[in-house]
Amino acid sequence: MATTESRQAILDRLTSRVVDANPLPTIDPSRLTTFEDPIAKFAEMLAFVGGEAHQVDRIEEVREILSKNPVFADATRIASVVPAAIQGNVDASQVDDPHALSSLDWVIARGEFMVAENGAIWVDGSTLPHRVMLFIPQYLAIVVSRNEIVSNMHEAYQRIGTPKPGFGVFVSGPSKTADIEQSLVLGAHGCRKLQVFLVP
């Protein structure tokens, strides 16, 4: 069947059977858990999902902390969209084909806000020259302002508002799998580790 015929057939079948139902419910915010210290909850949940949170007072501390990390110190190809924290040595905005980014060791990305209940960080795809930058490097660091935090996913979606064309992702911890006998392994296809820097 051609797609237009299928479309008509599906819609006809759906409209031919009227089903009564309730109107859409509205979430009552008073029923939802919020946290007194959302930053502490975020750090706890991020650790639970295998990530690491660092609270820093000066943006320069990002480099100081990362430099002590041997896999950062040894990294040869670094791309950053937060030059105030780390100056990368690969300018991804000059790259046309994302395949060329396959050998990236580190990416320093920017997070828009954090979600306390699950340790997730919302990353807006428009902050990156290529969205693959979040998934292809061996290691990922996200820099996010510590004032930008919500308690739960309801607040998170409210904050995102009406999406524009593009891409956005909640990142919660490094890439992981437990597909072999339920043994958790960090670093399935995406980043092996995730560092999150909470800056002023």
Partner 1 sequence: MGALPIIDHPDASREFVTNKARSHWHDEALWFVRSKRDKQAHSVPEWEYLREQASEVKTHTIANLDRYLVEFEKNATAMGATVHWASDAADHNRIVHQILKDHGTLRIVKSKSMLTEECGLNHYLEDNGIEVVDTDLGERIVQLRHETPSHIVLPAIHIKKEEVGETFHTHLGTDKGASDPQYLTEAARGHLRGKFLSGEIGITGVNFGIADTGGIVVCTNEGNADLGVSLPRVHIACMGIEKLLPRHQDLAIFTRLLARSATGQPITSYTSHFHGPRDANSELHIVLVDNGRSKLRESETFRHALHCIRCGACMNTCPVYRRSGGHSYRTTVPGPIGSVLSPARDSKAHKSLPYACSLCGSCTDVCPVKIPLHHQLLAWRKELVGQDRMPKSKTVPMKAASYLFQHPKLFALAGKAGRTALRWLPHFATHNRLNKWTIARELPLPPKESFRDWYRKNRG
Instruction: Find the shortest distance in angstroms from Cβ 159 to partner 1.
Output: 11
Which H or E run includes 55?
A: strand 52-55
Cβ closest to partner 1, residue 63 vs residue 154: 154
CA 140, 144, 145 angle in degrees (round to 5)?
165
Tokens of 54: 């660092």
**Which one, 15 or 73, has the nearer CB to partner 1?**
15
Tokens at 160, concatenated: 């995102």
Cβ at position 193, least distance to partner 1 in Å? 12
Q: Identify which of residues 56 and 118 has a Cβ nearer to partner 1 in the complex.
A: 118
CB of 43 to partner 1, least distance (A): 13
- For the sheet with 149-150, list strands across it: 120-124, 113-115, 149-150
Helix (H) or strand (E) holding 199: strand 193-199
Q: Is residue 129 classed exposed, middle or buried when 0-12, 13-18 and 19+ CB atoms within 10 A define those classes? A: middle
Cβ nearer to partner 1, comparing 67 with 158: 158
The distance of closest approach from Cβ of residue 56 to partner 1 in the complex, given in angstroms and rounded to an integer, is 24
Q: How far is the CB of 142 from partner 1 (least distance, A)?
A: 13
Cα 44 to chain center, whole Å? 17
Residue 47 beta carbon to partner 1: minimum distance, rounded to whole angstroms: 12
Cβ atoms of residues 105 and 75 within 8 Å: yes
For partner 1, give the closer residue by CB, 117 or 197.
117
> Which tokens in the block code for residue 9?
């057939």
Structure-token match 């308690």, residue found: 151
Backbone angles phi, psi at 49, to 5 degrees: -90, 10
Nearest residue (CB) to partner 1, 132 versus 141:
132
